[in-house]
Structure 1
Amino acid sequence: MDWTQIPDWLSAVSSLGALAFAAVAAIAAMRVYRIESSRDEANAETRKKQESLERRSQAALVSAWWGHDDVDGGWGVYVRNASETPVYDAKFSVLDIHDPNSSERFDLAVVPPASEPVVHSSPVRTEHPEHCRVEVTFTDSAGRRWIRDRQGQLHELGQRVLIWGDAKRVKALRQFFTGFLAEFEVEARFRTGKIEELRDELLDTGASDPVPDIVIGPHDWIGGLVESGLIEPILLSPKHREAFDPLALKAMAYRGDLYGIPYAFDSTALIRNTDLAPEAPSSFEDMLAAGEELRRTGAVEHSFVMQVPDPYYMYPVVLAGGGRFFGSGADGSLNPAELHVDTPPSHVGFERFRELGSAGLDCLRPGIGRDEAVELFVTGRTPYLLCTSRMLSDAQQAGLRFAVGPVPPFEGVAPIKPMVSVHGFFLTRRGRNKAIARDLIVDHLTRSDVSSELRQVWPHVPTLREVLDSSRESDPAVRSFYEACRVGDLMPSIPEMGEVWAAMQRTMVQLVDGDEVAPAARQLSRRLEEVLGRRAIEGLPEQRTGERID
């Protein structure tokens, strides 16, 4: 042993001890930090809850209700601020739970503290005043905005309502959203995009941030959105339900509940330029022959067009050719679990569709999408367009003379039943401003005057009976589209419907490109069997009837 190295050893041991002590001290400090951090977080959460409780304390003492005034014998709004400070900018809505058209509103700049309620007479006109309820929004002394709904429940009112929808519909609806919400000092925010992409984002991410309050879309979304817990049911009273066409409410129902407020029907139809084609075709062959004659003489560029790729438009052509995709349930509705894709009649229908693409007339091309197809029609470069009612505004703005009729079947095939879609407003479960969002879609947008004005801004087939009846009388195009909806089949709203459309779209592209029918049909049938799992799908029952409106 070299005793001269003992000091070095002692120094090393001392250093190691110091390091060990420092490590222990660091661990202890970290533990203390975590304890303190947890305590701070708990204190912050407690303060947050306390502040929220304090905010609600004054608001909870402000109330309004509908009642009979024993003094003058009429009906009115009873208002009471039982707190110790005034509330401001109070807006009162008197709502008939059965008839949105009977609602009335009035404002009070200040509601001072009072030991007894003050009665305000209301100009609401209704045959049954006992059916009315009151909703009030107000600002408390701290500048917070509140809403007490018609059931008397109190909610802190957010600064904005976020609405998701495709650009065309949002453009038409924007003024009706913003106008209503502005009355309550709430801002309308919009996010637009392709309708399929918005649906996919909702399903894939749950719309984690920011969360939409309202989503605009077709009814076939409902199954997937419900099963993913993304939208919530809406209860309408029996009288309120009577204002809608029954088919529209049936479309918005899923497993016994109503999950959307419908506003527009849609289906596929044949739009005809009456200057180029004065007579309605008797068959699909007749239409193609007339279109080809015009093309041969140089009067048009295409004998017939429709947008590609979109299986919603392929569907009626295959049916017109004698094909069939799905069977029927006990209630007569489409049953996607019963497939008829890979059958001889459907092969004939697919072949007739294929002949419209590159393997035949070449009037269907992947490069002719929705905008291109509409442009060809409104500029007179094709006499016939297979489309939905959303192109009516384009044709009317172009000053085009046109007529709407059913998609004609090929000779020897019975009249077809096109696929019918109903567009509506869905209320999301995680929306931050659900109380006012619900009022917007349930009460405001279901008023007859609002629906009528919306139809003037954006031509469509309304779902409210009163507006639908007047529209059918005044507009032959709306009448024809409604007839297509009335005889058609509602799109299934099962959760797998998005995958069904995607599989059908791939087949549509294959056929337009000239692929052989038999392998394409076989591939589609196998894919649909895989998606649907060959499960039996029960008919979806009607939504239950409720006596209140959420």
Structure 2
Amino acid sequence: MLIRRHTFLAMGAATLAACGGGSTEKKGADSGASDAGGAEGAAPAVPKNADLVIWADEKKAAALQEPAKAWGESQGLTVAVQTVADELQSSFITANQAGNGPDLLLGAHDWIGNLVQNGAVSPVQLPAEAKKALAPVGLDAVTYDGQTYGMPYAVECIALFANKKLTDKPSPATIEELVEAGKAGGAETPLSLPVGEEGDPYAMHPLYTSAGGYLFGEKADGGLNPEDVGVGKDGSVSAGEKMQQLGKEGVLKTSITNDNAISLFTDGKAAYLISGPWALADIKKAKIDFELSPIPGFEGLEEARPFAGVNAFYVASKGKNAAFANQFVNAVAASPDLVEQMFAKNELPPVNLELQKKLADKHPEVVKFAQFAEKAEPMPSIPQMAAVWKPLGIAEANIIGGADPKSSMEGAGKAITDSIAG
């Protein structure tokens, strides 16, 4: 998967790491132009002989390896793509602050607030033609305080999978219709949606927004206002009431987690599944006759809006080769070729509109996810989002288990505002 809720949990660690200012180099780390990382997933030592160094996680580094090398050769440059398997964001901030980090980082858009707060990345100037070639959600996601901080290349969101053998409504218009059709089909559970004992606000966000909940209000300039926390307000309580009803009906269950949500669907035990493009491989392998559609909202209420997660290339503020880094970013922006080569090894929904059209015939579901993301809500990239995740998740899980929606949401809202206030 591309971006999940664990990215928020890493923010506090990233900030602490940045304050430490120490080097992340490890003995025995790879120093050549390869995707090898340091010992046990630690940050690698940046090779001194490379013209451009890029850090990414394991899957994206593997996908980027050959395309970046080929681009470098065409420019007469040596490019080193290195894997940082664990704590990529915090390792990057620490290494950049110490002056021994990479020139480019490939990472999630919701890191931007923390990266900017730590002075770790520089704004990028994307040509006007390049902006026209990209899906708006991608550009929105990498815009922070009115500036563009990354070159977006892939996007994901969650959607609704329906097992056509277990429901006669593969694209239900409302949650109520989904529940009725799921129960009528005789499946063990009508809907597989990961909740877990501590909740999963990422997966629950479409239901939360449909019932009127919001996380942060907006400023006059369109940016998010951390002083206006929506958790604990009326909309969140209404959302909690809807969640509690679904819990009573056995539709939402804390026993369904990220570990078993997909398998319940592929094993034929769930009529519907809410998940992302990372579920496609398992579903196809299980030979499920499925349909993919947007997640419906509650009848008569707001549209369901899942989170959109975008991955982007960031230019390090203290990279040794900023000119080459910007040259690479402009190359990615100017043509979909490099991203298409990456797609061959890591099938992430692209934000490049031309590439979406090109992939539509052979990879229709992947392109559908990219299209669904256009109506999704970019995950908040402000650092204060880190305070939201755990309290809201626990509140939602408790409500599904029978706790009072009003007091649970208000308690979560207070915990969030207290944490933001410091």
Same structural fold, with TM-score higher than 0.5 when normalized by the shorter chain:
yes
User: Can you list the C-alpha shifts for 1:409-465, whole angstroms capped at 9, x where unaligned?
Assistant: 122213233332322122222344555444444425763223334334433331112
Equivalences for 1:53-452 in 2 at 5 Å?
A: 157-158=49-50, 161-165=53-57, 167-180=58-71, 184-193=77-86, 197-200=87-90, 202=92, 208=98, 211-279=101-169, 280-294=171-185, 297=186, 300-308=187-195, 309-330=199-220, 335-357=225-247, 360-361=249-250, 363-365=252-254, 368-369=257-258, 371-432=259-320, 434-444=322-332, 447-452=335-340
User: Hey, what's the Cα distance between the residues in 2 that align with 1:360 and 1:454?
Assistant: 44
Asked if residue 489 in structure 1 is aligned to residue 377 in structure 2, the reply is: yes
Please state how far the C-alpha of 1:382 moved relative to its aligned partner. Answer: 1.8
SS of the equivalent of 1:304 reads strand
User: Can you list the C-alpha shifts for 1:265-297, whole angstroms capped at 9, x where unaligned?
Assistant: 222221222333342223212212322344xx4
CA contact (8 A) 1:181 1:188 kept: no
Please state how far the C-alpha of 1:368 moved relative to its aligned partner. Answer: 1.7
Is the alpha carbon distance of 1:335 and 1:396 closer, same or farther for their aligned partners in structure 2, counting shifts above 3 Å?
farther
User: Hey, what's the Cα distance between the residues in 2 that align with 1:404 and 1:435?
Assistant: 43
User: Hey, what's the Cα distance between the residues in 2 that align with 1:174 and 1:499?
Assistant: 35
Structure 1: runs of 5 or more not aligned:
1-155, 535-550
User: Hey, what's the Cα distance between the residues in 2 that align with 1:379 and 1:433?
Assistant: 50
CA contact (8 A) 2:96 2:318 kept: no
CA contact (8 A) 2:51 2:324 kept: no
User: Hey, what's the Cα distance between the residues in 2 that align with 1:452 and 1:205?
Assistant: 30
Structure 1 letter corresponding to 2:229:
L
Please state how far the C-alpha of 1:311 moved relative to its aligned partner. Answer: 1.6
Deviates more, 1:417-426 or 1:452-461: 452-461
User: Hey, what's the Cα distance between the residues in 1 that align with 2:176 and 2:228?
Assistant: 30
CA contact (8 A) 2:55 2:105 kept: yes
CA contact (8 A) 1:265 1:423 kept: yes
Structure 1 letter corresponding to 2:302:
A
Structure 1 letter corresponding to 2:67:
F
User: Hey, what's the Cα distance between the residues in 2 that align with 1:172 and 1:385?
Assistant: 28
CA contact (8 A) 1:334 1:491 kept: no
Structure 1 letter corresponding to 2:82:
R
User: Hey, what's the Cα distance between the residues in 2 that align with 1:217 and 1:377?
Assistant: 30
CA contact (8 A) 1:445 1:451 kept: no
CA contact (8 A) 2:217 2:229 kept: yes
SS of the equivalent of 2:228 reads strand
CA contact (8 A) 2:162 2:271 kept: yes
Is the alpha carbon distance of 1:237 and 1:157 closer, same or farther for their aligned partners in structure 2, counting shifts above 3 Å?
farther
Structure 1 letter corresponding to 2:237:
H
Please state how far the C-alpha of 1:263 moved relative to its aligned partner. Answer: 0.6
Report the aligned-residue RMSD. Answer: 3.5
User: Hey, what's the Cα distance between the residues in 2 that align with 1:368 and 1:472?
Assistant: 31
User: Can you list the C-alpha shifts for 1:31-63, whole angstroms capped at 9, x where unaligned?
Assistant: xxxxxxxxxxxxxxxxxxxxxxxxxxxxxxxxx
Please state how far the C-alpha of 1:314 moved relative to its aligned partner. Answer: 1.5
SS of the equivalent of 2:121 reads coil
SS of the equivalent of 1:383 reads strand
- Which is higher, the Rg of structure 1 or of structure 2? 1
User: Hey, what's the Cα distance between the residues in 2 that align with 1:313 and 1:188?
Assistant: 32
Structure 2 letter corresponding to 1:302:
T
Is the alpha carbon distance of 1:227 and 1:345 closer, same or farther for their aligned partners in structure 2, counting shifts above 3 Å?
closer
| Structure 1 partner of 2:44 | none
CA contact (8 A) 2:191 2:270 kept: yes
CA contact (8 A) 1:158 1:432 kept: no
Higher strand proportion, which one?
Answer: 1
Structure 2 letter corresponding to 1:164:
A
SS of the equivalent of 1:462 reads coil
Please state how far the C-alpha of 1:323 moved relative to its aligned partner. Answer: 3.5
Structure 1 letter corresponding to 2:205:
Y
**How many residue pairs align between the two structures?**
370
CA contact (8 A) 1:157 1:433 kept: no
Is the alpha carbon distance of 1:500 and 1:236 closer, same or farther for their aligned partners in structure 2, counting shifts above 3 Å?
same
Structure 1 letter corresponding to 2:189:
H
Is the alpha carbon distance of 1:164 and 1:208 closer, same or farther for their aligned partners in structure 2, counting shifts above 3 Å?
farther
Structure 2: runs of 5 or more not aligned:
1-47
Is the alpha carbon distance of 1:417 and 1:507 closer, same or farther for their aligned partners in structure 2, counting shifts above 3 Å?
same
CA contact (8 A) 1:326 1:334 kept: yes
Which of 446, 454, 465 matches 2:342? 454
CA contact (8 A) 1:270 1:405 kept: yes
Q: How high is the sequence identity, in percent, across the aligned residues? A: 27
CA contact (8 A) 2:96 2:102 kept: no
Please state how far the C-alpha of 1:516 moved relative to its aligned partner. Answer: 2.9
| Structure 2 partner of 1:116 | none
Is the alpha carbon distance of 1:378 and 1:179 closer, same or farther for their aligned partners in structure 2, counting shifts above 3 Å?
farther
User: Hey, what's the Cα distance between the residues in 2 that align with 1:310 and 1:522?
Assistant: 18
User: Hey, what's the Cα distance between the residues in 2 that align with 1:354 and 1:432?
Assistant: 53
